[in-house]
Amino acid sequence: MIAEKIAESGGGKKDKYPQLDAVQNELRKMLDGKKYFLVLDDVWNEDPLKWSRLKNMLISGAKGSKILLTTRSDVVVKVSGSVHKHKLGDLSEEEA
């Protein structure tokens, strides 16, 4: 789960959170009042409920916190609530 990965990258212990609520609470505490830059790469989850839960966990961060999301799915862009969308063109054979 993404919340566990975020908590682990912030110094949390992998097996410390047996329940989802514990992960969410720990993540909120870790981010409370802190500025963060979170990269979510190659995202495919199109479930609006999961995006809502993730946003609720991240809301405690300081003003100026940023999330960079990369995806090839226009649905992910919509359900994630992305504010700025930058569509990249295809690479040429030489660039790839």
As a whole number of angstroms, the longest Cα–Cα distance in the chain is 48
pLDDT digits (tens, 9 = 90+) for 19-65: 667 777 888 888 899 999 999 999 999 999 989 988 888 888 999 99
pLDDT digits (tens, 9 = 90+) for 2-25: 666 666 665 655 555 556 677 778
Residue 58: which of 39, 84, 79 has the closest Cα? 39
Helix (H) or strand (E) holding 68: strand 66-69
Mean pLDDT in the chain? 84
Q: How far apart are CA 22 and CA 4, in angstroms?
A: 10
